Structure 1
Amino acid sequence: MSLEAASLTASTPSMPRLDDLSRADVPFRTGHFLAYAPRDFHRIAYVEWGEPDSPHVVVCVHGLSRQGRDFDPLGYRLAKMGYRVVCPDLPGRGLSGWLKDPELYGLPQYAADMAALIAHLQITGKIDWVGTSLGGLTGMVLAASANTPIRRMVINDIGPFLPWAPIRHIGSRLRDAPRLHHNLASGESRLRTVLASFGPLTDEQWRHIAKHSFFQEPNGGWRPHYDPGIGDAFRPGRVYSVSMWRDWDAITCPVLLLRGAHSDLLLASTADEMTGRGPPTERIEIPDCGHAPALLDDHQLAIVTDWLGPAA
């Protein structure tokens, strides 16, 4: 299944409908490259917004069972502000390849693949990072490293302490997910249930999420876009609380921390501690959301774009 590059059209509203983004005045491009895992090269796919020669680059990375098209509205807005915006699919998701060894689905591989993405894009300067959940953890690993290219970071509803109970719930949700839906409406219905913590979304926003969450099989039916193997790390007996405070304390760049007001993965106490140690951090609570705010509505998008400011 392939994506079509957008074409330049006549004037459009400042924020077009989600389904019209492929025909907007800021076209997107698609690309891919080969990244390495032990004994295996795999495809990493991405969508790119804005001028390809802009020195102001934002990399947006999705959550555990999501993919880069979740950032279409943010990519559009940031591109209008002068940024080059790159939204990859992590391995095992979207249009990226699956790893032959499911045991490799983890932060070391994700960080290595995103470092390879930056090299592939020939980015020689600093970048800004927007990471939702797993994308935020991946950004933390990179930002904590010596000579990091990350100059600013938006972390969406994740932190350096992850309690085991919601991790177990996420694992159960992945294992219980149907491997095939009879139609796209059935898939969307399930997403509305399991992703309800994203917060109140319009029908149009749910359709956008569903459209990029399932691939149609040649023999009929719609399968989730991700490799079921991404859930292997969450099998019973392998789930435990995670601490990454050492990484957090090593980060020096400014951070915008977004927290869903009802999040069970980013506890309020963890967010409190994040603002008191480690990098300089501004915290904003998103009402009516759990884990994690979808970054699709005008209010949430404005929080991110206002904090990043125009490309300069």
Structure 2
Amino acid sequence: MIEPRLNYVRCPGAQAVRAEDGETTPGHRMAYWEWNATGNPKHPQVVVCVHGLSRQGRDFDTLARALAPHARVVCPDVVGRGESDWLADPMAYDVQQYAGDMLAMLQQLHQEAPIDALDWVGTSMGGLIGMVVSSLPPGVLPVPVRRLVLNDVGPAIEWSALERIGQYLGAPLRFDSPEQAAAQLWDMSTSFGPHTPEQWMALTRPMLRTTPQGQYRLHYDPAIAQPFRALTREAAEKGEALLWQLYDAISAQTLVLRGAESDLLSPATVQAMAERGPKARCVEFAGVGHAPTLVAPGQVEAVTRFLLAPPPKGSA
């Protein structure tokens, strides 16, 4: 079974804080997991997979293994999560900073090996970052985003879902074992839909870090909750208008995935996304809420079929 290689990119902007002494450092490092089973370490097709708010890049292991024989697959740990640095200023945890970090990563990847085709898979927050990146004007990216997968997210986000997420985000959870962690995290994540115990444990283990006391904690900086909780309903509504502007500027072929029971992405929003901007296609998964984990075979097949399809006839 193939495994990813862990790499880092130095990102400008917000300062990191060193865990060992609390001192700040210029800029910060973002970690990313790179998968490549093509036999060509410089494969020109790159697929970037970006996780949700409190998750990390190893969420995409199953999907990455399916894509790796065909493309260079890159799964970052967004700053504050996984193997990436934590930021000194919690209010710097925002989509603008995250998008800037992705640009730094793409520039590094392009310097290592020219990118000819760039695709994006974004779950929840990762989809918002993808909308920002995909709407950038020509010349900012090494190449424009060609195909975009928005996993249970769109320009309009239901306020009740944000309130639900805010109830657990940043909680100082401690676990005595990975098995206990898996059980407690499942109680918080049943909206992800059916998973076998093996699938859920595979998603859980990368979420855990050991403490000096020998327990387990979650992998992310609890301070990511501060800007999230500072968001007001009024600010969210203003942000929605901006997100629709970004969405309308997207030229990439776009696929929206929706959990049929999602409380974050409404059917009305999906319908609007199909009628404007890139006129997204939608695939809906029964028995799943927010958000599909892209582990079930049907979910993986929907994404791989979209990303690996030949170009439409008459396209360049």
TM-score range, shorter chain: 0.7 to 0.9
Q: Structure 1 residue 310: deviation in Å? A: 5.9
Q: Structure 1 residue 311: deviation in Å? A: 8.0
Q: Is 1:143 paired with 2:134?
A: yes
Does the CA contact (< 8 Å) of 1:180 and 1:221 recur in 2? Answer: yes
| CA distances 1:156-211 after superposition (whole Å, capped 9, x unpaired) | 00000112221121112114x33322222221112101111111011011101110
Report the Cα distance in structure 2 between the residues aligned to 1:61 and 1:201, rounded to whole angstroms: 21
Deviates more, 1:261-270 or 1:30-39: 30-39
Report the Cα distance in structure 1 between the residues aligned to 2:301 and 2:231, rounded to whole angstroms: 41
Question: What is the aligned partner in structure 1 of residue 273 from structure 2?
Answer: 274
Q: State TM-score, norm by structure 1.
A: 0.87
Report the Cα distance in structure 1 between the residues aligned to 2:157 and 2:169, rounded to whole angstroms: 18
Note the residue ranges of structure 2 that are not aligned, 5 or more in a row.
16-25, 312-316
Report the Cα distance in structure 2 between the residues aligned to 1:288 and 1:304, rounded to whole angstroms: 18
Report the Cα distance in structure 2 between the residues aligned to 1:284 and 1:311, rounded to whole angstroms: 19
Q: What percentage of residue pairs aligned between the two structures are identical?
A: 43
Report the Cα distance in structure 2 between the residues aligned to 1:237 and 1:105, rounded to whole angstroms: 12
Q: Is 1:74 paired with 2:73?
A: no
Task: Select the residue among 163, 169, 173 that pairs with 1:174.
Answer: 169
Does the CA contact (< 8 Å) of 2:51 and 2:124 recur in 1? Answer: yes
Question: What is the aligned partner in structure 2 of residue 21 from structure 1?
Answer: none
Report the Cα distance in structure 1 between the residues aligned to 2:183 and 2:3, rounded to whole angstroms: 30
Is the partner of 1:37 in helix, strand or coil?
Answer: coil
Is the partner of 1:155 in helix, strand or coil?
Answer: strand
Question: What is the aligned partner in structure 2 of residue 208 from structure 1?
Answer: 202
Specify whether residues 191 and 179 from structure 1 end up closer, same or farther in structure 2 by C-alpha distance, changes over 3 A only: closer
Question: What is the aligned partner in structure 2 of residue 103 from structure 1?
Answer: 91
Question: What is the aligned partner in structure 2 of residue 55 from structure 1?
Answer: 44
Is the partner of 1:119 in helix, strand or coil?
Answer: helix
Report the Cα distance in structure 2 between the residues aligned to 1:307 and 1:238, rounded to whole angstroms: 36
Report the Cα distance in structure 2 between the residues aligned to 1:117 and 1:237, rounded to whole angstroms: 28
Task: Select the residue among 163, 166, 169 that pairs with 2:158.
Answer: 163
Q: Structure 1 residue 150: deviation in Å? A: 0.8
The RMSD of aligned alpha carbons is: 1.7
Q: 1:261 corresponds to which letter in structure 2?
A: A
Does the CA contact (< 8 Å) of 2:14 and 2:28 recur in 1? Answer: no
Q: Structure 1 residue 237: deviation in Å? A: 6.4
Q: Is 1:299 paired with 2:298?
A: yes
Q: 1:182 corresponds to which letter in structure 2?
A: D
Q: Is 1:128 paired with 2:119?
A: yes
| CA distances 1:66-123 after superposition (whole Å, capped 9, x unpaired) | 000010111111012x211000100000001101110010110010001111011124
Q: Which runs of 4+ in 1 moved over 6 A?
A: none
Question: What is the aligned partner in structure 2 of residue 30 from structure 1?
Answer: 6
Deviates more, 1:147-156 or 1:199-208: 147-156
Does the CA contact (< 8 Å) of 2:251 and 2:277 recur in 1? Answer: yes
Does the CA contact (< 8 Å) of 1:252 and 1:280 recur in 2? Answer: no
| CA distances 1:234-255 after superposition (whole Å, capped 9, x unpaired) | 3266354440111111111110
Question: What is the aligned partner in structure 1 of residue 244 from structure 2?
Answer: 245
Does the CA contact (< 8 Å) of 2:28 and 2:85 recur in 1? Answer: yes
Does the CA contact (< 8 Å) of 2:134 and 2:252 recur in 1? Answer: yes
Q: 2:127 corresponds to which letter in structure 1?
A: G
| CA distances 1:12-38 after superposition (whole Å, capped 9, x unpaired) | xxxxxxxxxxxx1x3421111211223
Report the Cα distance in structure 2 between the residues aligned to 1:237 and 1:74, rounded to whole angstroms: 32
Q: 2:60 corresponds to which letter in structure 1?
A: F
Specify whether residues 226 and 311 from structure 1 end up closer, same or farther in structure 2 by C-alpha distance, changes over 3 A only: farther
Q: Is 1:221 paired with 2:215?
A: yes
